Amino acid sequence: SQTIHQWPATLVQPVGSPLSLECTVEGTSNPNLYWYRQAAGRGLQLLFYSVGIGQISSEVPQNLSASRPQDRQFILSSKKLLLSDSGFYLCAWSVLSIKSSYNSPLHFGNGTRLTVT
Amino acid sequence: KNQVEQSPQSLIILEGKNCTLQCNYTVSPFSNLRWYKQDTGRGPVSLTIMTFSENTKSNGRYTATLDADTKQSSLHITASQLSDSASYICVVSANDMRFGAGTRLTVKP
């Protein structure tokens, strides 16, 4: 069966420090991978998605970047965190591209609660 | 303005009671609508998916309805349990996915 691992679960970082959140998927090949941010009282916001190794699409301009060094590994990074980067970050995978009509669900990790102080 | 609006924002019910959550959308064209359940501090998990031609679909004590003409969906929970306490998120798919802000349901004993 497929599983998705996301870590760390919680993170407190000072403003200006770097960030690296990691997500790995097991049990499937060539998944589509996503990073979402969830703010309280608002819907999930898509940050990045990837359809293959080294292929990253960004949905919104921001202080973050993403990389996919391996087929089932997705990393969210920042060189210098801002206070506004605080939030709940979710990694997800699916079997079909987000850009096409599809019926496959997103499978989410358990998220990382990031607090920038 | 969000193209997927959910109501109520929060809801408290007693264990054993039924409840209905609403999702109205303006997303067009429409491909499908999915309901997710998100436990506190966890990622969302898909409950059910509704396509254009489907009006009702059940998953255990969860029943989703869709009216594609009025662009409304509902999620009905029967005989609620404490474990139903969670946020329920409506997601409408067209050329991309649009997420509602969710309804926070609390079931009390």
**pLDDT tens digit sequence for B51-85:** 888 899 999 999 999 999 999 999 999 999 999 99
A84-106 mean pLDDT: 80
Nearest residue, CB atoms, A105 vs list B2, B46, B95: B46
The per-residue b/e assignment along A44-81, b for 16 or more CB within 10 angstroms, e otherwise, is: bebbbbbbeeeebeeeeeeebebbbeeebebbbebeeb
pLDDT above 70 (res A100): no
Identify the pLDDT of residue B33. 94
pLDDT band at B31 (very low <50, low <70, confident <90, very high): confident
User: Residue A105 and residue A98: Cα distance in Å, rounded?
Assistant: 10
Closest CA to B10 of B75, B101, B76: B101
pLDDT above 90 (res A97): no
Q: A111 at the B interface (CB within 8 A)?
A: yes
Rg over alpha carbons for chain B, rounded to the nearest Å, is: 13
Nearest residue, CB atoms, A44 vs list B46, B94, B99: B99
Between B29 and B7, whose confidence is greater? B7
Q: B75 at the A interface (CB within 8 A)?
A: no
> What does A50-110 look like in DSSP terms, one character per residue?
EEETTEEEESS--S-EEEEEETTEEEEEESS--GGG-EEEEEEEESS-TTS---PPPEE--
Distance from CA of B15 to the nearest CA of A (A): 25
- The 3-state DSSP composition of chain B as helix, strand, coil percent (nearest 5) reads 5, 60, 40
Mutate which: B96, B98, B103, B104, vs A, most A CBs within 10 A: B96
pLDDT above 60 (res A99): no
Q: B89 at the A interface (CB within 8 A)?
A: yes
pLDDT band at A66 (very low <50, low <70, confident <90, very high): very high
pLDDT above 90 (res B21): yes
Query: A110, B43 in Cβ contact below 8 A?
Result: yes
User: Residue A73 and residue A67: Cα distance in Å, rounded?
Assistant: 8
Size of interface A-B (CB pairs under 8 A): 52
pLDDT above 60 (res A74): yes
Q: What are the pLDDT digits (tens) for A7-38?
A: 999 999 999 999 999 999 999 889 999 999 99
CB atoms within 10 A of CB A42: 14
Residue of A nearest to B42 (CA): A110
Q: A84 at the B interface (CB within 8 A)?
A: no
pLDDT band at A104 (very low <50, low <70, confident <90, very high): confident
Between A60 and A68, whose confidence is greater? A68
Cross-chain Cβ contact B42/A110 below 8 Å: yes
Chain A partners within 8 Å of B46 (Cβ): 105-106
Give percent above pLDDT 90 in chain A: 74
